[in-house]
Structure 1
Amino acid sequence: MIFEGLPTTPRSGELVDKAFSRAARAGRAKSGHEAQESMLRTAGNVLSDNLENVVVSWPDFGFDVDPFYYELADAIVDVDELRQSLSRVMWTARRIETLRDDYSSRLRSSDLETATKHRKQAFARMADLMDDIEEDLLRIGEARDALRTLPDIRPDEPAIVVAGYPNVGKSSFVNAVTRASNEIAEYPFTTKGVQVGHFERDHIRYQIVDTPGLLDRPADERNDIERQAVSALEHLADVVLFVLDPSGDCGYPLEVQLALREEVRTLFDPSIPVLTVANKHDRFEAVKAEAVDATMSVTEDENVDEVLEMVVEAIAYEPELPTRDRSEK
């Protein structure tokens, strides 16, 4: 997952202590002007290098982050504020490099006492710059901690998003078609784990995603963050599988479930198929033909494979084949 490998973000005070401690050690190894310059360059390098590493460890939200993860991240941390903090940290890294070089020139042309004063002035200005970005580093660290917990969903693979009220059999279906390969991950803003499963057809890997807390109740029951997370799913889904329980044993009448299905349809682009499957068909006699695309019983293992094939056909995924250079022979 794109945010999984982000390193721990250092705090401003930690970096200053680290930089000045290393500078002191570097100074003890030399004497005179050479000691002052070594201290200055060591402190400047430690600060600028660490700050730059903080920034470059993040993907470029404008180019490297898929729209699915962009919207999901924005729902959690406010991407605009995060990008501003990253920009300020990088500016500070460059500013510290400039201070390092400027004061290095000054102390070389000064007597030892003045050179020492210049080095101390540079340290004070570097410390002030680090104080100015204390909140930015905290924001970046908090964002890193939140985004690392996002589930590993691959936007480049065909995806089935499962929707429907709780207890209609969504998780059972995901378990049945993915066997033991499914994973449980958590969104920071949901109380239940997001279930991500995988299966293969014709050497193509499909992912199937059950998102409890997002597509299992009407929009007016979701908060702003959950609504934005739902909008992120629009960028992920190649097909939506809406699961009904016509028996009503799930605790929601059939007409209420159908109303949610119609709402789900409006959330996705019209080009994304929304297929309806009635689960527990061994528990009821009939379902109106216009209400469903298929029926199944996960507990009885009836028509489960047929439903999966229906979904795969609806996606009609065609992998991009590498093009051969016409110049090759």
Structure 2
Amino acid sequence: MIFEDLPTTPRSEELIDKAFSRASRSGRAKQGREAQESMVQTASNILSDNLENVVTAWPDFDEIDPFYRELAEAIVETHEYDTDADGVDALRQSLSEVTWASRQTKQIGDEAMGKMRKASDDLARKHRKQAFARMADVVEQVAPNLRLIGDARDALKTLPDIDPDEPTIVVAGYPNVGKSSFVNTVTRARHETAEYPFTTRGIGVGHFHGTDVPSELREGKRSAADDHVRYQIVDTPGLLDRPPEERNDIESQAVSALEHLADCVLVVVDASMDCGYPIDVQLELRDALKAQFDDVPVLTICNKIDRSRDVEADHYMSVTEDENVEGVLAAAVDAVGYEPELPFEQ
């Protein structure tokens, strides 16, 4: 995952303390003007290098997969900062400000070193103190930017491992219709659940392989390469479990990210209505999702058929009774239509 290696972002106070304490130690081994020069050089290098490292660790948002960009947009918008930009633009603005601070602290150090070369010991000490004050002022100016970058890093780093290049099935539908039970069954409960700042429950991401889908349930010809394909299946509580008009702006942004990720959407409905939602309301959500995910197949899956199957659906199953669960999974894989390239293919 592209954000997992982002280093911890230092706060301004930590960075200043680190730079000046190391500078003080470096000056102890020398005397007079040389001690002052060593302190300025050390502080300038530490501040400039650490600030630069904050920026260079981040990927270029113009080049990353749209899924990750939209996800970052949603996550950064969950934090409120005093900036004239929102989302990723606010993050980019902060990264730009930190780049400026990195260059400024280096320039201040270079200027002070130039003044100190022929200065007396007392004058060198004065130049060093002035340089320290200016460098500290620069770092304090970007304190809000470092905080924004750090908060974004902490949120993005903990996202579940989602690969936008893997074929992905997104599972949607109202609460209690059996979405999580289906995902648990087809992934044999081997999946990761992580909290997103814009959902009320953790999003679940599971995986299964082509070999988990019986050949006799698949449509058309199946190649040997199909068995080695890994599929992602995403359970989306708190996002795709209610109508679009009930989502806030941040949740809508997160759904936009899922639009880039999904290769197929399964909308699970409960015709028995034991879930607590009328079937016509469930189908209205299905229709809204079809309109939103108009570039990928959207299949209606009727679950709990041991209680009722009184609804028109693409496929019927009962997770609790283990009835046609594999058939639904096979239908989803067929709808994705992923064709792996063999190494010898041109």
TM range (shorter): over 0.9
Given candidates 187, 190, 197, the residue that maps to 1:181 is 190
Which amino acid in the other structure matches residue 261 of structure 1? R
Instruction: Spell out the pairing of 1:2-41 with structure 2 (5 A cutoff).
Output: 2-41=2-41
Is 1:199 matched up with 2:223? Answer: no
Structure 2 equivalent of residue 249 of structure 1: 274
Contact 1:150 1:188 in 2 (8 A): no
Once the two structures are superposed, residues 64-119 of structure 1 have per-residue CA deviations (whole angstroms, 9 ceiling, x without a partner) of x3211211111121111111111111111111112212221221122222222222
Query: What secondary structure is seen at the aligned counterpart in 1 of 2:159?
Result: coil
Q: Normalising to structure 1: TM-score of the pair?
A: 0.93
Of 338, 342, 346 in structure 2, the residue corresponding to residue 317 of structure 1 is 338
Query: For the residues of structure 2 that align with 1:68 and 1:264, how far apart are their CA atoms?
Result: 18
Please list every run of 5 or more consecutive structure 1 residues that lacks an aligned counterpart in the other structure. Answer: none
How much has 1:271 moved relative to structure 2?
Answer: 2.8
Equivalent pair of 1:107/1:118 in contact (CA under 8 Å):
yes
Classify the secondary structure of the residue corresponding to 1:54: helix
Contact between 1:103 and 1:122, CA under 8 Å: does it hold in 2? yes
Whole-Å separation in 2 of the counterparts to 1:230 and 1:220: 12
- Corresponding residue of 1:57: 57
1:284 aligns with 2:308: yes
Q: What SS class does the counterpart of residue 162 from structure 1 fall into?
A: strand
Which residue of the other structure, out of 91, 97, 112, is the alignment partner of 1:82? 91
Q: Does 1:148 align with 2:173?
A: no
Structure 2 gaps of 5+ residues are 77-86, 211-226
After TM superposition, give the deviation of residue 4 of structure 1 in Å: 2.5
Task: For residue 286 of structure 1, report the CA deviation from its aligned partner.
Answer: 4.4
Alignment partner, residue 305 of structure 1: 326
Q: Distance in 1 between matches of 2:340 and 2:183?
A: 23
Q: How does 1:101-120 map to 2 (within 5 A)?
A: 101-120=110-129
Aligned match for 2:139, one of 120, 130, 150: 130
Contact 2:171 2:234 in 1 (8 A): yes
Cα distance in 1 for partners of 2:273, 2:32 equals: 85
CA RMSD after TM alignment: 1.6
Q: Distance in 2 between matches of 1:34 and 1:285?
A: 85
Question: What is the SS of the residue equivalent to 1:16?
Answer: helix
Closer, same or farther in 2 for the Cα pair 1:324/1:278, shift >3 Å?
Answer: closer
Query: How big is the shift at 1:187?
Result: 0.8
Rounded to whole Å, the distance in 2 between the matches of 1:188 and 1:285 is 36
Q: Would you say the 8 A contact 1:48–1:96 is kept in 2?
A: yes
The answer to whether 1:221 aligns with 2:242 is no
| Structure 1 stretches of at least 4 aligned residues deviating more than 3 Å after TM superposition | 320-325
Deviation at 1:138, TM superposition (A): 1.3
Residue 70 (structure 1) aligned with residue 69 (structure 2): yes
Q: Contact 2:108/2:131 (CA < 8 Å) preserved in 1?
A: yes
2:263 aligned to which of 228, 234, 238: 238
Give the TM-score normalised by structure 2: 0.89
84-93 or 145-154, which moves further after superposition? 145-154
Match of 1:163 in 2: 172
| AA of the residue aligned to 1:312 | V
For 1:26 and 1:284, the matched residues in 2 are separated by: 77
Residue 148 of structure 1 and its aligned partner are, at CA, apart by 2.4
Q: Cα gap change, 1:20/1:170 in structure 2, threshold over 3 Å: closer, same or farther?
A: same
Cα shift at 1:321: 4.6
Aligned-pair identity (%): 66
Deviation at 1:275, TM superposition (A): 0.8
Secondary structure at the counterpart of residue 252 of structure 1: coil
Q: Judge conservation of contact 1:245–1:280 (CA < 8 Å) in 2.
A: yes
Q: Which amino acid aligns with 1:263?
A: A
